[in-house]
Structure 1
Amino acid sequence: MYGSSPNSMTANGSDSKKQRLDESPPSRVLHIRKLPNEVSETEVIALGLPFGKVTNILMLKGKNQAFLELGTEEAAVTMVNYYTAVTPQVRNTPVFIQYSNHKELKTDSALNQRAQAVLQAVSAVQDGSSPSSDPGVLDLTPPPSPVLRIIIDNMFYPVTLDVLQQIFSKFGTVMKIITFTKNNQFQALLQFSDPVNAQQAKLSLDGQNIYNSCCTLRIDFSKLVNVNVKYNNDKSRDYTRPDLPTGDGESTNKDHSLLDGTHPQRNSFASHGSI
């Protein structure tokens, strides 16, 4: 078992947390606690990506914890200092980061294959080489936009704007959504407040089913950096502008010209299958 004692792992007092943080010497291995259930390796790695090379990760999913190893102690210190001033969040849930008592992570690669595959993709991007073409290796290039373009495949049940907002808001603040039909496919443009949130949502949800065995999400970054929403109705919504009119059901956006022909989806489902 890596990290500190079980008692210190589960301590909840903010004073004791601050004391441990102050007493722990800097290490390039960071201990991350209070992670949401079913969090992915990519979401944890995304916390460290802005600060430098991520060299190893160990997930303790039963304990909602993880250990993240950065390439240098300096990068880890920068990360801890940043997240001391700004509360780190995963899926809109605050998490706690402190230095580990260990100076490096030694993991069994046979038991840690998924994490190693993700790290290989990260290394390829950070080293400037081409990421693996293996579809099982996730692309972790820096997010180009806070706007995601979403296509729903195998759509046996209606997918409403509210359902999309509920699913994607787990990863950050959803500001705007436009839904439309193009090439006989239900699509959406969804804008987060931060490109990193869009990246985390794409990494976690791309290829997932909204309902059991159907309504598969296909997600890419949009060329847009901002979505223009004119009306708040069943097909489009700007959550930052509750004063917008409902309009006549039409919504427009310069990214495409085939937004008409979309029919409002009024059925909503409480259960979201595998998500």
Structure 2
Amino acid sequence: MSRKRNRPEEWGDIEPSPVIHITDLPEHTLEIDLEKLFDKYGRIVEIIMLPNKRQALVEFEDQNDADRVIQRSNEYPFTVNNQRLRLAYSTSKRLTFRGRLDDSAIQSDRPPPMENNILLLTIYNAQYPITVDVIHQVTNRHGKVLRIVIFRKTGVQAMVEFATVADARETKRHINGADIYSGCCSLKVEYAKQTRLKVTRNCLDSWDYENPTLMDETGMGVQGRPVAAAAAASLLGKFDGELGKRADAYLPGNLAAVSPNSVISALAMVAAGQQQQQQGVFGGGYSDMNDRSATPVIMVYNLNMAHANCDRLFNLFCLYGDVGPIKFLRSKEGTAMVELHGIANANGALVNLPMISFAGKRLSGQLSRQQHIVEVSQPYILPDGSPSFKDFTGSRNNRYTHDSAAKNRVYPPSRMLHFWNCPPGISSSQLQEVFAHAGVSVPNVVSLFKKNERNSSGVLEWNSVEEACDALIFCNHTVIPSPGDRVPFVMRLAFSSSGAAERRYSRTPISSSSSSNGWHLSSGKVTGGAAPPSSGGTTECWRQSPRHYYYYSIYIQHYTPSPSSARKKKTAKTTKQQMQQ
């Protein structure tokens, strides 16, 4: 068993190895830099960069070649960018073989190399947003990129599929060990095992450049921009706040591409960061808001810890997008982090959050500075006995899968809940028992839709929005047994648009704070006034900024039917009714 080298004076005790351990590398040292430095001494089998430690491992095919390099370093130290390197034999005799494919390798006794057209990129110290925009700008200079997938399970990693193995090899040589931005976002690049990436939708975390028609989560494509010559110390120079976020898509020059979801996303970004720095969203350099404008992670505040747990937060946030990990913070009482799949989904949830109450407390939130939630191996126990961390990635109760995403309708919180997937023939009293058993108010009105043999659905009504919110959070995904069926039914709930009072926002704010403004939201369309009412500082945030009026004006101009259009529809409907009579 190899032992760890604790002190430099012990390095001489290491047995000679064809693998050389290099330390004290300067920032932004690339694989190709070491290749040019050492290939004159013999054939290099593999180079592994460790940019987070400023170290590297270089394996030579012949032991004698490694010996010459070590001897040369003792006489005349090697340098990169005028910085002296420290070289020693590694405790490893071989590196994981994924070397270069050539005739000499095939003729040797070693197994064939494992080169691939897909690269695995690990990004260390990711202080700034990493999106497909950023990865594409870094990788497409050296080869044709076909697909990109970013995942954030235990850090930030990306897989990039190239058209050929040669393109992947050339890209690896030029970016392995590099810093994307000056002093941070360091890259470790390896060959992946996959032979093809599967992209189901084009968004900020995945993109298929051979199929640009895939629907992206904001209704518009990710828009690239030309990048100036990179600074010598990084691939993209100093972070300027533009790559990695899509706020530029909401500027007047891009009105043709605006969609309802994208406008809501822009407004959510402004609302979340108003108190930090308004100019961050709309340009003016990097700020705290820029860091929060491109993240799918939401900070949720003012939770009632006597009743809050991961499952109940999932019951709420699954209405706005597929939910991943949820984590409660022990250091901040009543605070949790929720990660959604997609930045637009997180922004949409953030718009509705101030209008939701849970167990007597009005919720609030903002976008997190983190781009993902790191898995907690030993979560602490919440007051109700459940763990403080749970990952819902892949849960069957997520509603925004590829097949069912189009069926979802997101409405603002109301007194009405739509329910479905209940046992066929369920009665009103049985439904009320479900909510009574959970300890929340029972609905005072139960409207069942036309019955069918497969399941039951309908609309439930409470006396207040607060009661409906508690009912949804406590009872969503309740398992309801059905006599004669081996598999029980899982009841699903969502806010409903039924009822005139529930289809629009009132001019009266939900909280005690008042506002003279009068925005109305009817069936998801803004029709005039100030902003949807909320509570506390968020209400002031919506009212004070003149930008909000501008963006709501855009929304009205593009998505509210004109009076003439409405009259035509009404006339056509009347004519049809007369013909039927």
TM range (shorter): 0.3 to 0.5
Larger Rg: 2
Output the TM-score relative to the length of structure 1.
0.44
Output the TM-score relative to the length of structure 2.
0.22
